[in-house]
Structure 1
Amino acid sequence: MKKQFAVIGLGRFGGSICKSLMNEGMDVLAIDQDEEKVNEFASIATQAVIADSTDEKALKSLGIRNFDHVVVAIGDNIQASILTTLILDEMKVKHITVKAQNDYHETVLNRIGAHEIVHPERDMGIRIAHNVVSDNVLDYLELSDEHSIVELAAGPTIDGKTIVDLDVRSTYGCNILAIKRNEELTVSPEPEVKLYEGDILIIIGADADISRLESYWIDEN
């Protein structure tokens, strides 16, 4: 059974989520006060409506409490974001994800019932910073304050060596989740698999361990 999502706020962030969910085959209710934005998503979302999310009656009339997941993607209006989240929590919505503008906003959202809080601009900034600092880091995903998943380009120092030879887990405390090679993806590779220069290694571990691993046997600089 398909999950039902509601996305409140159809700016760049909310609009992107709405389109991505639809591409995944989900049912999506798109909500915004701006008629022009709602008209834009009328042919994209399952349903698009003009509504004020700070109006509890309006949300009730949309049956918002019956949705599996509601994303509050309101842009610069922190007051509207907070009030909307509060109303959703009081209505016992199953899962509420909210876009935060800053740390203060996040603190308030945590106290009033948001289940998940995202900082798209900050998170993208961190991701880009990691990518530009090292030529070997191709992509970066922060899992927590101390753990991440990264894509690392394998250099010549590990060419022809197996995962067993490198002893990644016990030496560096990291795990190789997958290997990309010539557009082919090998998930949970066997310890005897050889690695070659140009392979893309998908690594999970603590940030400090990943940095140490990169410095010792991937980063040639």
Structure 2
Amino acid sequence: MAIFTVIGLGCFGQTIALELTKLGHDVIGIDTVQRNIEQVADRITHAVIADATDEKVLDELNVKKSAAAIVAIGEDIEASILCVLNLKNLNIAQVWVKAKTKSHHTILSHLGVEKILHPEEDMGIRIAQTLSYPMVSRYMALDSGHFIVKVLIHEKLHGVNLQGLMQKYAENIQILLVQRDTQIFYQISDDFTLAKDDILIVEGLQHNLQKLSSSFQ
């Protein structure tokens, strides 16, 4: 169990704070808006009305014990930057920050922020991917254009030989596993056939995955 600090308890900040709490961590939530504090006060470890742009306030709240701090301030870019400077001065191990604009992102980069978050942009990309490839329920981007994708097998592919499908549509794509109910198959034999509602996890370059997706439509 670790201690985390979340500064800014709008929708994004609240989601992070509550999920960290569910995972068993102690969470210090800070906001200047009383309503935001009231919404999480009985669901996280500490919820405090405070000005996080004041380094002394953060020091008094003992946020320096945090394994990481997440600055989820929305519109006030100046306040976001001041919070980052304060957290850096307090030697917080990791600082994650929600960026509002490209210039905000640039400033945060120069300040050495470990992780810059663009939740609206990321969600937009995910929605577009879902609309374009409805068979892909989840994906994770790796480096150099590689992705790991989770594919739900629909009735159209029930009984189809997986290796044959991959040879026809999916050059240079690695099958990681197939899940069927509670069974997980890591070694896929040449005669393995897909079943409706199987979950297929594969890894490959985006353009190869796009070719594979055509077989699912």
Stretches of structure 1 that go unaligned for 5 or more consecutive residues are none
The residue number in structure 2 matching 1:133 is 132
1:150-190 deviation digits (Å, cap 9, x = unpaired): 22233545734244x5557xx533333333434x362x621
Q: State the identity %.
A: 35
TM-score normalised by L of structure 1: 0.85
* 1:110–1:37 distance in 2 versus 1, CA, 3 Å: same
The residue number in structure 2 matching 1:196 is 195
The residue number in structure 2 matching 1:110 is 109
- Given that 1:6 and 1:28 are in contact with CA atoms closer than 8 Å, whether structure 2 keeps it comes out as yes
Equivalent pairs, count: 212
The residue number in structure 2 matching 1:161 is 161
- Given that 1:8 and 1:73 are in contact with CA atoms closer than 8 Å, whether structure 2 keeps it comes out as yes
CA–CA separation in structure 2 for the residues paired with 1:83 and 1:144: 32
CA–CA separation in structure 2 for the residues paired with 1:16 and 1:61: 25
Is residue 44 of structure 2 the alignment partner of residue 65 of structure 1?
A: no
- Given that 2:97 and 2:117 are in contact with CA atoms closer than 8 Å, whether structure 1 keeps it comes out as yes
* 1:143–1:86 distance in 2 versus 1, CA, 3 Å: farther
1:45-102 deviation digits (Å, cap 9, x = unpaired): 1111111111011111111222101111111111111111122122221011111112
CA–CA separation in structure 2 for the residues paired with 1:167 and 1:130: 21
- Given that 2:71 and 2:80 are in contact with CA atoms closer than 8 Å, whether structure 1 keeps it comes out as yes
CA–CA separation in structure 2 for the residues paired with 1:137 and 1:191: 20
The residue number in structure 2 matching 1:77 is 76
TM superposition shift of 1:196: 2.6
CA–CA separation in structure 2 for the residues paired with 1:147 and 1:102: 26
CA–CA separation in structure 2 for the residues paired with 1:203 and 1:81: 39
TM-score normalised by L of structure 2: 0.87
The residue number in structure 1 matching 2:205 is 206
